[in-house]
């Protein structure tokens, strides 16, 4: 069960290792772009190439879908970047249902674990496979693997590495379940937990009252999607890339420091952030020097 490109390598590695995929369950086709043509999920595109049975339920609680799922008599279900499953679905196979989650659980439970790990300036994240139970992202851990985050990493670069490593962990997990050679571990709740809620307009804004270091982490954590944004001179700009000029300096918060030619720096609290690639509302993304060829601040 999966939808985006993140889930494709996990499916591919199981097919290439000759596991019997009873069916692939993915999101329904959706209208996309100006022509609103129906677009297939990356998982569906791969499943078609591999000649696999594809199911695209609108409602996972639909009795017809659940009856068809039960008729497959699958003994294990694997979830990678899908959606919440009702208990009737995740409890159906005799072995159960396991999920690949892109964090070291119990840290960063939620919809955007890679984004929040980078946004919070973590130096390490990872992957977890665990059996599903009622509460989201809380089930017994089967396996984990760590992945370092460098100060220059973006969510995009970490995502790509975890996508490939995740496939290998899914295969290792399936092989261990097949042989019975694994131990389950309960998630350690006796620690301060950081969460990974969905990203909205409200939690992707850069506010100059925050430290430059935090804002730099937000910019790279929201790159390439959904992209950080900020208000500059009462106008909205997306901020695609930035760097830290100074971590500790103080001054008038939000002050623009610019020659209106090559650089755009902003005083934060504390520190100074250099904006490198920006996107005025309704226009294309551009380097700051290109922006200044037709604009002044």
Specify the pTM: 0.95
Pairing of the two strands 235-246 and 256-258: unpaired
Is 106 annotated in a binding site? The answer is yes
Is 103 annotated in a binding site? The answer is yes
Whether the per-residue pLDDT at 208 is higher than 90: the answer is yes
Same domain, 61 and 15: yes
Same domain, 174 and 120: yes
What's the pLDDT tens digit per position in 60-102?
Answer: 999 999 999 999 999 999 999 999 999 999 999 999 999 999 9
Residue 186 lies in a domain: no
The rounded radius of gyration (Å) of the Cα atoms in the chain is 22
* pLDDT for the residue numbered 36: 80
Rounded to 5 degrees, what are φ and ψ at 156? -60, -45
Mean pLDDT of the chain: 97
Residue 208 lies in a domain: yes
Domain that holds residue 84: 5-179
Would you list the DSSP string of 170-232?
HHHHHHHHHHT----B----SSPPPEEPPP-GGGSB--TTS-HHHHHHHHHHTTTTT-EEEEE
pLDDT band of residue 35 (cuts 50, 70, 90) is confident
CA–CA separation, 130 and 109 (whole Å): 12
Same domain, 206 and 143: no
Q: Which of 144, 179, 214 represents a domain boundary (last residue)?
A: 179
Look at the chain and report how many structural domains it folds into.
2
* pLDDT for the residue numbered 157: 98
Query: Which long-range contacts (C-beta less than 8 Å, at least 24 apart) are formed by 179-185?
Result: 182/142, 182/143, 184/131, 184/140, 184/141, 184/142, 185/140, 185/141
What's the pLDDT tens digit per position in 210-257?
Answer: 999 999 999 999 999 999 999 999 999 999 999 999 999 999 999 999
Mean pLDDT, residues 44-71 taken together: 98
CA–CA separation, 27 and 41 (whole Å): 7
Mean pLDDT, residues 117-138 taken together: 96
* pLDDT for the residue numbered 34: 77
Closest CA to 265 of 240, 246, 284, 285: 246
Same domain, 170 and 252: no
pLDDT band of residue 112 (cuts 50, 70, 90) is very high
Looking up residue 267, the CATH number of its domain turns out to be 3.10.25.10
* pLDDT for the residue numbered 23: 98
């Amino acid at each position: 069960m999966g939808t985006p490109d993140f889930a494709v390598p996990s499916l591919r590695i199981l097919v290439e290792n000759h596991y019997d995929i009873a069916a692939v369950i993915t999101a329904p086709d959706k209208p996309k772009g100006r022509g609103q043509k129906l677009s297939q999920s990356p998982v569906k595109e791969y499943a078609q190439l591999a000649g696999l049975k594809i199911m695209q339920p609108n409602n996972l609680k639909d009795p017809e879908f659940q009856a068809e799922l039960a008729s497959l008599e699958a003994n294990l279900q694997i979830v990678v970047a899908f959606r919440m499953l009702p208990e009737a679905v995740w409890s159906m196979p005799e072995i159960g249902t396991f999920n690949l989650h892109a964090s070291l659980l119990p840290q960063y439970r939620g919809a955007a674990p890679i984004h929040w790990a980078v946004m919070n300036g973590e130096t390490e994240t990872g992957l977890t496979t665990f059996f599903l139970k009622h509460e989201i992202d809380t089930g017994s851990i089967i396996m984990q693997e760590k992945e370092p985050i460098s100060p220059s990493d973006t969510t995009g670069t970490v995502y790509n590495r975890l996508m490939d490593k995740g496939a290998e962990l899914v295969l290792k997990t399936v092989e261990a379940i097949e042989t019975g050679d694994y131990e389950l571990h309960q998630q350690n709740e006796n620690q301060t937990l950081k969460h990974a809620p969905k990203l909205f307009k409200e939690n992707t804004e850069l506010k100059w009252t925050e430290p430059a270091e935090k804002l730099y982490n937000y910019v790279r954590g929201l790159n390439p999607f959904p992209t950080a944004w900020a208000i500059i001179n009462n106008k909205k700009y997306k901020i695609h890339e930035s760097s830290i000029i100074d971590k500790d300096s103080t001054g008038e918060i939000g002050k623009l420091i610019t020659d209106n030619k090559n650089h755009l720096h902003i005083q934060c609290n504390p520190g100074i952030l250099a904006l490198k690639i920006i996107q005025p509302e309704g226009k294309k993304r551009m380097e700051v020097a290109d922006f200044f060829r037709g604009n002044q601040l």
